[in-house]
Amino acid sequence: MTDEPHNTSARPDPALLNARHPSSDEEWVAEFQKGSAQGFSILFDRYRQPVFGFFCRRIADRAAAEELAQETFLALLRALPRYRQETLFRVYLYAIAFKILNRYRRKMAFRAAFLGMPDEQPEPGVSPGMEASLAVRQAVRQLDATDREILLLRHFDLLSYAEIAKVLDLPINTVRSRLFRARAALRALLETPPRAAMTHAPLRSQEQA
């Protein structure tokens, strides 16, 4: 299952998509900027699950994931009046989500390092009744941090290579090569017996992208 937005799909060229779909994200943003609450409702309906999944797959604490997802949409609400259509809405939204996620990570790291508070639970995204995907989650967790982000953004959030490059501020060729590396590493980890996979050190390639 992916958290694909309801009426969007993987697309090669966002500009072409906008031309084909009159109700594109950017047009709904424009509606909201004119004062229509419906504009935001449509966007929220499209992206609530992807954004919630975005945090669930990166944070172990479910309550925190809910809070950060809500915070992301509230931040979006405040930022939308300043939004200009030079950037795709999806990129804009995920950039906000990444900022909020990184701020949360820094806060937790600070608490763990200086205040002696317990670190996060080791397994992100675990919830009762979801053991079927445990091996996948453990394998993903062992990937290099940047490779993991690229893989998750591509697979679950259906961002194009160019959009991932913008969100993570990386060259597009780096995104491409790291994505391939992540998939190869993930396949190797998934083929490894579970016990070995549990103790597998994080994969960090010496290759410079």
List residues binding another protein (CB under 8 A).
1-3, 10-12, 32-37, 39-41, 44, 48-49, 52-53, 56-57, 66, 69-70, 73-74, 77-78, 80-82, 84, 104-106, 108-110, 112-114, 119-120, 125, 127, 130, 132-133, 136-137, 140, 145, 151, 154-156, 160-161, 176-177, 179-180, 183, 186-187, 190
Closest separation between CB of residue 113 and another protein, Å?
4
CA gap 202, 207 in Å, rounded: 15
CA gap 131, 133 in Å, rounded: 5
Our CB check for another protein shows the closer of 27 and 66 to be 66
CA contacts within 13 A on the Cβ side of 88? 20
Nearest to 144 by CA among 178, 174, 189: 178
Our CB check for another protein shows the closer of 2 and 7 to be 2
Closest separation between CB of residue 75 and another protein, Å?
11
> Residue 97 is encoded by which pair of tokens?
């989500």
> Residue 143 is encoded by which pair of tokens?
């990937």
Our CB check for another protein shows the closer of 140 and 203 to be 140
Closest separation between CB of residue 140 and another protein, Å?
7
CB of 71 within 8 A of CB of 140?
Answer: no
Closest separation between CB of residue 59 and another protein, Å?
9
CA gap 22, 86 in Å, rounded: 17
Closest separation between CB of residue 56 and another protein, Å?
4
Our CB check for another protein shows the closer of 35 and 193 to be 35
Closest separation between CB of residue 127 and another protein, Å?
6
CB of 123 within 8 A of CB of 60?
Answer: yes
CB of 117 within 8 A of CB of 145?
Answer: no
Our CB check for another protein shows the closer of 23 and 102 to be 102
Name the maximum alpha-carbon separation found in the chain.
56
